[in-house]
Structure 1
Amino acid sequence: MAKPVITIEVVYAAVERQRLLEMTVAEGTTVRAAVLASGLNADFPELDLASCPVGIFGKQVSDPEERLLQAGDRIEIYRPLLADPKEIRRQRAARAAEIKRLNQSS
């Protein structure tokens, strides 16, 4: 007897374009297996589907090789950050402090 199937979505958004793919997979499929089966690396050659960070509905999945999918799950493939958010905040705070210092000395 064939395994039951579930419907999921796999999404990836590059800077200039995005792709949403609806897929049917066998019940018991892992997140990583679905990402690999999506074939999105054909449209986005920069993607390393075997190791890219992924999430489900905005929450990062720490063990995509183990996490089993449920019907209706939306797998999101994450891009690497271009800049460290903590460093950006530090730089912004330093600029604001410098402006404040300059305004007080005027």
Structure 2
Amino acid sequence: MQITLCRVDASGATQADITLAEGARVEDAIRAAGLAPETLPEGTGIALWGRRAMLETALRAGDRVELCAPLLVDPKEARRQRALRQGDVRQVTCGRHGSRRKLAD
């Protein structure tokens, strides 16, 4: 059966078409791509068509296995830091009516 293995990391995205025997698992696909599951960075996400998968998950023909690098920063924390850097935006944005109406302090 034919599957696609996609890998996203700091260097970019790669895609490889792999042929496996029927009944293959995600772990088999990773090994066939020349990677060892135990050497993947801690926190690497494994997904089938964008849905979380485990190494033991069985594959079907045409599946897309995705290996995603772990997040470097918590998205909620990144948003909080951006908001702090921007400061108070009420003085910058006057709303849709220009400056005729004052925003509440």
- Give the Cα separation in 2 of the matches to 1:88 and 1:67: 33
The TM-score with structure 1 as length reference comes to 0.68
Counterparts of 1:1-106 in structure 2, within 5 Å, are 6-40=1-35, 48=40, 52-61=44-53, 64-96=54-86, 98-100=87-89, 103=91
CA RMSD of superposed structures (Å): 2.7
Count of paired positions: 90
TM-score after normalising by structure 2: 0.68
Q: Structure 2: which 5+ runs fail to align?
A: 92-102
- Identical pairs, percent: 36
> What amino acid is the match of 2:29?
A
More helix by proportion, 1 or 2?
1
Partner deviation per Cα, 1:8-44 (whole Å, 9 max, x = no partner): 0111133334321111111111112211221147xxx
